[in-house]
Structure 1
Amino acid sequence: MIDQYADVFEGIGQLPGVCKLTLKEGAVPTVQPPKRVPFALEKRLKAELDRLEQMKIIEKVTKPTDWVNSVVIVEKANRNLRICLDPVDLNKNLKRPHYPIPTFESITQRCAGAKIFSKLDATSGFWSMMLDDESSDLTTFNTIFGRYKFKRYPFGLNSAQDDFQRKMEEAFENLNLGLIVICGADDSENDERLKAALERAREKNEGIKPDPEKTRAITEMPLPENSEQLQKLLGMLNYLSRYIPSLSSLNKSLRELERADEYKWKPAHEKAFSKIKSALCSNLAYFDPKCENIEIKVDASKHGLGAVLAVDDNVVAFGSRSMSETEQRYSQIEKELLAVVFGCKHFHQYIYGRTVTITTDHKPLESILVKPISKAPPRL
């Protein structure tokens, strides 16, 4: 397939259309002097400027320009130089388009059920976007060899990622891709989608890690300081052991501590606690938008709220938060219902428009379902 689409892999591409940089009202232009360059790098700097000019990435500037930026020169491992725009003042005065950037979580959801994956990477992606003349003038930069400006989108501008994401989505519209991550249930489906992506890349070319937020509640989980807190922890682990069987063996020393006459936290308990957190974080499943059996397990302690999202006997995500001083004065039934509200809000993206089972160990909450709403306390 690479041989068939060899032209798509050549050089730096060019996405359709041009991009425009928009200044904020009242923006005051600045002119930065050229930065000093070590004598040993001067020759290589000139060679890199000439190379970029020949590639039509930059061009010489002789006319007066209101904005003149500085550049940062980075020496790469292969001794070549990378010229990076340093638009500190320009960035402060640019209006960002704020285009939504897909999260790792949203991408993996689209890939649910896939077994074969391919990944495409745009060569110097930002350079595939052309700037209009006025925007190009804004990127003028100073060097010891004179002024240049970028004809294509330079790295360093705060609007670059937004425009790049928009351009890529426009170029690959209606293709079943997660960014340029191609996936399929088998080799045939993956190859079909990969071919569609390469065809679109050829057609549109006019030139030629689990989400930390899902595990934060676990990684930041405090040590149980007394028997009551340990009992709460073991209750939650007992629930989670339905999904992660290894938890039953990992929490053995903690169960022994719960039964002990004296609560004394030892290194063995610390080790078990760390292993439990590691097991919880490493066993998260991806959320399949087509799933049906969605469950949220909630719990309220003295000072905090916790929630677990599970689908088809697999844990998808965790959530927790501390309670305010006012919330800490709630009755226990109010705290437990607050945990239900928190869990539903925290996992709103997953459960909106779906049938969800809420699991709680606080039986008095059932009374809300059997008694008239008018009989419930106002806060409930």
Structure 2
Amino acid sequence: MNIDKPHAGNKFFLSEISFLGYVVTRGGLRPDLQKVDAVRDAPTPTSLTHVRAFLGFASYYRRFIKGFAAIARPLTNLLRKDQPLTCDGECERTFSTLKEALASAPILVRPDHGKPFILITEWQSEAISAILAQQGKDGREHVVEYASRTIPDERKNDSAPQGECYAVVWGIQHFHPYLYGQKFLLVTDHEPLLALKKLTNYTGMIGRWAVRLQEYDFDIVDRKAEKHGNADGLTRLHRPGKVPKGEEITSWKEPKQSEGLEYGQVAILPRT
């Protein structure tokens, strides 16, 4: 590039820039509000295509949303072929909650590899979550990234110790590029996990997980539940009138015994 004759589109010495749907600032990263405003005004999904488009957009910013997988579960369930395609009040609340979360998303700090990381994990019966954080100059924990996922079918019958341990293993592997090769602090609200690194019996599922974690260097801290709360496709968002054929939503009516919804249709229950 010729510095003497910079291109008209070039901009220098900015305090923040918009890049790939994010705003990069000196303090960290946040969603581009122009993109967020577009989805904040989006109407309730009227077809499976709408649901996929909205979830695709929201997932792009899931790193900003605490417990994204658990929040989005009623909408993601609509995309499963073994689930009834009925969008009830819970789905509408989920849609609104995600829009509000996007609009109020926090600034995520840039990771500082010269400082130790803090990993906070949480297990629930429907989803697990992990938060990567670092302590700031103010002594507080500042979030680097949120991560979450729904519980896979093969893990839905886990006991609490198994579930909490699974959340730890998943969280560490998810943030492997940040955590491998340096000491970090693991924070949990499940006291039995404090013995995880001292485990000598490597039989059983938890024992095998303990072996996998031996390549990481970390200390474990038990944080009481009341202090553990922080862990507890835009153009395709069609407006009404552009619903793909075969995916139209019909007003919900009490189904007859011999009739039912076909795949590709979503019925909206009236609010009560």
TM range (shorter): 0.3 to 0.5
- TM-score normalized with structure 2 length: 0.42
Greater relative CO, 1 or 2 (CA 8 Å, sep 6+)? 2
Higher helix fraction: Structure 1 or Structure 2? 1
